[in-house]
Structure 1
Amino acid sequence: MHNETSTTVAALATPPASAGIAIIRVSGPESSKSLNCLFRSYRNPIESPRELVYGNVIDSDSGEILDTCLAVYMPAPRSFTGEDVVEFQIHGSTITAQRILRSLFSIGIVPADPGEFTKRAFLNGKLDLIQAEAVMELISAASESAQRIAHDHLAGKLSAFIDEIAEPLRDSLAEIEASLDFPEEEIEPQKIDQVKDHLLQTLKSLQTLLDSYRYGQRLKEGVKVLLCGPPNAGKSSLLNALLGKNRAIVTDISGTTRDLIEEECILNNYRFILCDSAGITDSNDVVEKIGIELSIERIGWADIILLIVESSTSYEEIEKLFQVMGSRAKNIWLIMNKCDLQQPTIFAFTHDSPTVTKQLSLSVKSGFGILELTDALRDEVEQSAGTLFENSAILTHERHRESVTSAITALQSAIDSITNRLPLELASADIRTSLGALEEMVGRTYSDDILGRIFSKFCIGK
């Protein structure tokens, strides 16, 4: 990454593909130079900041007109990066964009690194670290629900929640350190109890926030759903029905599906990763056996297992499937397919059986019960959120989870020290550690290593 205070960088800020328009962004102290050298118009954008000006962008060496465009000049600090910024809105030709960028580089402007514009925005105080990460999160959102959370993070809602949690920690730390600075004024037991109560309330808030990570990951990465069961139960047909297209081959021949078929889809505004698998059965076919082994291996991967059987399947046959699936099988939904042919039985499973959390009847052929299944999948995602996350305080990044976990560990240690009447210096140090973890999460403190890891995941031009 370049020296943000001295270099001026440029990159294509839109995807490198043919399109209606493309935007080239320039940021840094020499941004205005790009207009003086490359832009020709009846009006100088530098004299009309934040106004789009129509004109020609030219080759800096030959003077050849490369394109007609709209140019805008945004002087610091009122720009995305907090620096002087110029943007050229050109026709979306990749060749044109490349030629303009070459002209910019020929006058001393340098290519931007991945995520450099967002990093500069962070370093110049335009965004905190959570908001900076939300830029990429918003760009890559694959569902409406993930987009909403990313937008809320970009708007600063998670950061505000962290500040709200941190405030009583700062107050408690000030109370304890005041007593340490003036030992002759020993802190009253009543005040110590009040400090402990505040810490316990904060611990509860942090734990709730940590619990949101599972939901956040499901929104961001997708809910993993494994379709398994015996051959010809309708697994591939159900996959096709949920996808709304013929992705898997469906025949009356047993063992048609031999490999794992994985597809993403959006159901009720949530992202799901569906995985069809080979039918679980005793087989002498070498290839089919490999497929069955892959199916069993995938059981631990799934958030939800749709165990699909025919409505005529007996309790004993289902128990045999449980034995093959093993103890790793959790959150099993028993799907009784072909209910148009025979009324399914509602089973009561023993405590020794894997966790069967739902039993649903449907007919893939007629479409009966498909809507009920998709609604149940939506409800499963929403129930994992509960009502406590309506303020958009939802963790979606592993880095956030690690920070909150560290804050919880240190805070619990502080509470234990106070409970056991240990020296207050110990509690003070732990509270400070807890605060430090939260401040690092937001980006008030950071290391070059953390910034490197975050912004290396960005695209060029972001």
Structure 2
Amino acid sequence: MKKNSADLSLAPQHSIAALATAPAPAGVAVIRVSGTQSKSAVKALFRSRLSPIEHPREMCFGSILNHKNGDIIDHGLCVYMPGPRSFTGEDIVEFHAHGSPLIAKRILQSLFAFGITPAEPGEFTKRAFLNGKIDLVQAEAIGELISATSESALRIASDNLAGKLSRFIEHIAEPLRDLLAEVQASLDFPEEDISPSQISEMHESLTKVQSDLHQLLESFTVGKRMREGYKILLCGPPNAGKSSLLNALLGRARALVSDVSGTTRDFIEEECILGHHRFVICDSAGITETDDAVEKLGIELSLEKLKWADLVLLVIDATEEYPDIEALTRLVGKDAKNIWMLTNKVDKNKSAIGQYYCDRDVCKQNFYLSVKTADGLDALRNALIEEVEGSQQNFSESNSILTQARQAHLVERAIFHLHTAAQALAHETGLEFVSEELRLALLQLEEIVGRTFTEDLLGRIFSKFCIGK
């Protein structure tokens, strides 16, 4: 299906309503309505000195009624926003009532009895997309904005909602359209051969676009980490202080701490904010030789979890002369640049074990710390922040950043088709092949912003939204 931003018939014609605020006691509850019945709903459910219909986009105070018997449900505010100058592009009305879930429920029941349909998850945003008010990248950015838990994630979501990524996609697509038109013209007028200089210019144009797309694809790692969090795995021998370190980084007692070896048998995964960045920290079972079946399973899962982590913090005990070398060797299966050695309990003994392994490229960095006395914890926190910011240094605030796997997959496919087009051009396979590959590359870019889409795609995207958005 192809979206035409001027064709409002793509959006459903029935009117919808939902609670736009959290379904819990609060200062205010906002009930949102969108569709052709919005104006009728105001006339049926709201009584006030100033009519919201006659004073659009103004908050009007009055009584919110049960339209069947005229009973007052609550005293509150109403605002009417006629389309197409509204979020969804349709007529919208909002009732702002006292934040009692029961009041909100009664208002919604009155709206549903009036013939308005309960909104599905993300349906207001979906209608905004179908009515050409936003594109698909902006729609995804709304979801990211709502779920953002760090300043960096919030900044990217705000940028993409403002159209930053969409404009960059268009910036890339425009020369491809010109190139496709040039190739197509040569096919339409075969008597006019393409000169070697034209072929060279086409190659240069393709190379430039591929370079831009490769850089955009690389941004996905940064965008994903900003959105989902920088993933850290705490691992190492039992009783080295991993759970105590988790509690210290979180600033609260989340993991059970005991002198008994093997206390942690399953993953404990928690989030925290350091600097302006989101971290997901996972405490794992101590790695050692054991006959305990449950503990052994936890250890196996810990080793498997290495694939998940962006960074491994290998915690060892300064009071132990030698950690489990065999387990450590297995850990080296993870790239050494993603392993930091943390020598804990230095208040009891400052061991040089960590530096020993750093010198042998087992790990990237070594830290001496004492979770008990907090010695070295600030240095570790600062290093983690610097690690995240260092991974983002190639992507300044002026860069566009991918945040969704869907977007990255389509960029990968566009790169593939452009590479195939360049190969066909170089080997003089035929301009028909070049034209087709350019067309397919453009389709991938257009799908990113939603110029082409399927109902299944929209279902997958908007089903992740909450009701009322």
Choose from 435, 454, 462 the match for 2:461: 454
Given the alignment of the two structures, is residue 323 of structure 1 paired with residue 329 of structure 2, yes or no? yes
Choose from 371, 382, 389 the match for 1:382: 389
Amino acid at match of 1:297: E
Native 8 Å contact 2:11 2:131 kept in 1: no
Worse overlay, 342-351 or 209-218: 342-351
Q: Distance in 1 between matches of 2:325 and 2:425?
A: 52
Q: Distance in 1 between matches of 2:64 and 2:74?
A: 6
1:292-311: CA deviation from partner (whole Å, max 9, x where unpaired): 23322322222211101123
Native 8 Å contact 2:357 2:363 kept in 1: no
CA drift of 1:232 comes to: 2.2
CA drift of 1:420 comes to: 1.5
Given the alignment of the two structures, is residue 191 of structure 1 paired with residue 195 of structure 2, yes or no? no
SS in structure 2 at match of 1:57: strand
Given the alignment of the two structures, is residue 18 of structure 1 paired with residue 25 of structure 2, yes or no? yes
For 1:111-150, what aligned pairs fall within 5 Å after superposition? 111-150=118-157
Native 8 Å contact 1:305 1:329 kept in 2: no
Q: Distance in 1 between matches of 2:396 and 2:421?
A: 26
Amino acid at match of 1:260: F
Given the alignment of the two structures, is residue 400 of structure 1 paired with residue 407 of structure 2, yes or no? yes
TM-score between the two structures when normalised by the length of structure 1: 0.94
For structure 2, which runs of at least 5 residues remain unmatched after alignment? 1-8
Residue 356 (structure 2) aligns with: 347
For structure 1, which runs of at least 5 residues remain unmatched after alignment? none
CA drift of 1:285 comes to: 3.6
For 1:298-317, what aligned pairs fall within 5 Å after superposition? 298-311=305-318, 317=323
CA drift of 1:6 comes to: 2.3
SS in structure 2 at match of 1:356: coil
Q: Distance in 2 between matches of 1:310 and 1:44?
A: 72
CA drift of 1:325 comes to: 3.1
Amino acid at match of 2:356: F
Q: Distance in 1 between matches of 2:288 and 2:434?
A: 59
Cα distance change on mapping 1:217 and 1:432 into 2, 3 Å: same
SS in structure 1 at match of 2:33: strand
1:333-383: CA deviation from partner (whole Å, max 9, x where unpaired): 1112223333342225687x7x52222222212222212212222222222
Q: Distance in 1 between matches of 2:128 and 2:195?
A: 46
Native 8 Å contact 1:299 1:329 kept in 2: no
Worse overlay, 222-231 or 60-69: 222-231
Cα distance change on mapping 1:287 and 1:452 into 2, 3 Å: closer
Residue 244 (structure 2) aligns with: 237
Amino acid at match of 2:125: T
Q: Distance in 2 between matches of 1:106 and 1:286?
A: 59
SS in structure 1 at match of 2:23: coil
Amino acid at match of 1:27: S
1:35-75: CA deviation from partner (whole Å, max 9, x where unpaired): 11010011111101100000001111110000011101111
1:160-181: CA deviation from partner (whole Å, max 9, x where unpaired): 1111111221121122222222
Amino acid at match of 2:222: Y
Residue 65 (structure 1) aligns with: 72
Pairwise CA RMSD: 2.0
For 1:171-250, what aligned pairs fall within 5 Å after superposition? 171-250=178-257
Native 8 Å contact 1:216 1:395 kept in 2: yes
Native 8 Å contact 2:358 2:364 kept in 1: no
Residue 262 (structure 1) aligns with: 269
Worse overlay, 215-224 or 275-284: 275-284
Cα distance change on mapping 1:107 and 1:256 into 2, 3 Å: closer
